Amino acid sequence: LQLIKRLGNGQFGEVWMGTWNGNTKVAIKTLKPGTMSPESFLEEAQIMKKLKHDKLVQLYAVVSEEPIYIVTEYMGKGSLLDFLKDGEGRALKLPNLVDMAAQVAAGMAYIERMNYIHRDLRSANILVGNGLICKIADFGLARLIEDNEYTARQGRMRG
């Protein structure tokens, strides 16, 4: 596993573009020591292991000893947020945008079928690859919901 270029950093660590097994381009999420427990950081990987869908970023490997890494599929165009604000996405027409939204919806429908909730879906957590492929990422806040926990509540509308 080789870290090549830092793509970004946050409160709990950094994300790097790197290579795995010498030639596979990957994204590597690192944990900044002392910011959260390794167990909490690795919970995201545990969820990613259970969720496999072509509209979700795929988990490749986990390094569970210091330094701790989560190794995932690399999406070359970065976040949907940056892609639409600053990248080639600024020139996209409505049919492309609708298709991208449908891809995200397909990923979210799968997450729901698996009884998970993402809890942090936003354009910064959607990654874009070649061919305008969109995938949902960042499962750090996701959690499993029990069938009896997810019930609709009846309410009144107030005018």
**Annotated binding residues, as ranges?**
29
- Residue 5's identity, in one-letter code, is K
| Residues labelled catalytic | 120
C-alpha closest to that of 49 among 131, 115, 139:
139
Beta bridge partners of 117: 143
Q: Which residues are annotated as a binding site for ATP?
A: 29
The H-assigned helical ranges of the chain are 38-50, 80-85, 94-113
Q: Which residue has the tokens 């600024």?
A: 90
